[in-house]
């Protein structure tokens, strides 16, 4: 099994190449490859310093690979206790080890049909589709058979129940609390091409809300990179909640399996600082499945559904 994530730079030197890979991806910026390459160089050049600064604020590097390696070990142990030998490796789309490298390392250990798990709660062509395309190309080149693809972790009941339980534990004053679900924004152009990301996010919100009783909830999109990105924005929804009289805001970032710059900075620092003048009595952000401790069970349930075997999740 190959666990695939977006990845992130492991040091300052990797920041600019990481940005170049993102903006050279045709699933993110379609069109002429020469123009796309020039644009990727320009964006990386302009954004590298600010991106290095952002990563410096969270320890200087991304935790995607080490967190993925821990998850790989947990899943191997989980299935070992159930009599299944599972070789599991980590790969990333825009950093190292990249998908061809991860696939090669895995195939050297075990010659068996591959299951790919995309570590994004909601499927989108901008990430899931891009990762799958690179994987299939690498698998063809390396003569590896791919048998299963787990593309939507949010459909696992463990995901829904895990978030609902975490929210209930966090809320202190139900009558005065607004639960703000957030998901990472995408360019509107991607959604207009038929991407089902927004539908998948809204489905998750609906399922979690069923388990929250009368708690007030709303949905916003965070981390927009431009005006033509999907909304509403988190700060706008927070302001509307305060106008309605809610004094506590609980943010649940549904589109992440673990903490990263989008949670540690975009929410904890930038969003909370921006809405500080609204004078909420309490602002809190719930940690994602990895930090909550149910990520392994969530992935195992999704795997069992894909493999059509009984799951204890």
pLDDT digits (tens, 9 = 90+) for 224-256: 988 899 999 999 999 999 999 999 999 999 999
R_g of the chain, CA atoms, integer Å:
20
**pLDDT tens digits along 163-197:** 999 999 999 999 999 999 999 999 999 999 999 99
Place of tokens 């798990």: 117
Only one residue has tokens 């390396």, namely 142
Please work out, in degrees rounded to the nearest 5, the angle formed at the alpha carbon of residue 256 by the alpha carbons of 237 and 127: 105
pLDDT recorded at residue 269: 97
What pLDDT, on the 0 to 100 scale, is given for residue 227? Answer: 87
How far is 59 from 264, CA to CA, in rounded Å?
Answer: 11
pTM: 0.94
Domains of the chain, residue spans: 1-151, 157-289
Q: Give me the CATH topology for the region 157-289.
A: Rossmann fold (3.40.50)
According to the CATH classification, is domain 1-151 in 3.30.1360.70? no
Q: What is the pLDDT of residue 226?
A: 82
Determine the pLDDT at residue 310. 65
- The label of the residue with tokens 């549904």 reads 254
> Average of pLDDT values for 129-133?
96
Give the integer Cα–Cα distance in Å for 152 and 118. 8
1-151 matches 157-289 in fold: yes
Structural contact between residues 256 and 264, judged by C-beta atoms closer than 8 angstroms: no
């Amino acid at each position: 099994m190959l666990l695939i994530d977006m990845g992130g730079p492991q040091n300052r030197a990797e920041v600019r190449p990481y940005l170049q890979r993102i903006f050279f991806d045709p699933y993110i910026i379609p069109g002429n490859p020469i123009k796309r390459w020039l644009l990727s160089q320009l964006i990386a050049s302009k954004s590298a310093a600010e991106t290095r600064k952002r990563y410096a604020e969270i320890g200087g590097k991304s935790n995607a690979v080490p967190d993925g390696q821990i998850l790989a070990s947990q899943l191997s142990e989980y299935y070992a206790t159930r009599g299944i030998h599972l070789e599991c490796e980590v790969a990333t789309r825009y950093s190292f080890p990249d998908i061809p490298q991860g696939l090669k390392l895995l195939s050297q250990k075990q010659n068996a049909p591959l299951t790919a798990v995309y570590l994004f709660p909601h499927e989108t062509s901008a990430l899931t589709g891009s990762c799958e395309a690179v994987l299939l190309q690498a698998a063809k080149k390396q003569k590896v058979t791919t048998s299963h693809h787990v593309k939507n972790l949010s459909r696992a009941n463990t995901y829904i129940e895990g978030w609902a339980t975490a929210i209930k534990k966090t809320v202190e004053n139900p009558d005065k609390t607004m639960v703000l679900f957030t998901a990472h924004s995408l360019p509107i152009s991607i959604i207009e091409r038929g991407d089902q990301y927004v539908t998948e996010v809204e489905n998750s919100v609906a399922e979690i809300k069923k388990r929250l009783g009368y708690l007030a909830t709303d949905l916003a999109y965070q981390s927009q990179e431009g005006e033509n990105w999907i909304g509403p924005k988190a700060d706008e929804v927070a302001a509307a909640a305060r106008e309605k009289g809610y004094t506590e805001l609980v943010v649940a970032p549904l589109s992440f399996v673990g903490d990263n710059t989008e949670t540690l900075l975009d929410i904890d620092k930038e969003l909370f600082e921006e809405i500080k003048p609204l004078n909420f009595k309490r602002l809190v952000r719930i940690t994602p499945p990895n930090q909550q401790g149910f990520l392994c069970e969530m992935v195992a349930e999704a795997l069992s559904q894909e493999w059509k075997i009984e799951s204890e999740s």
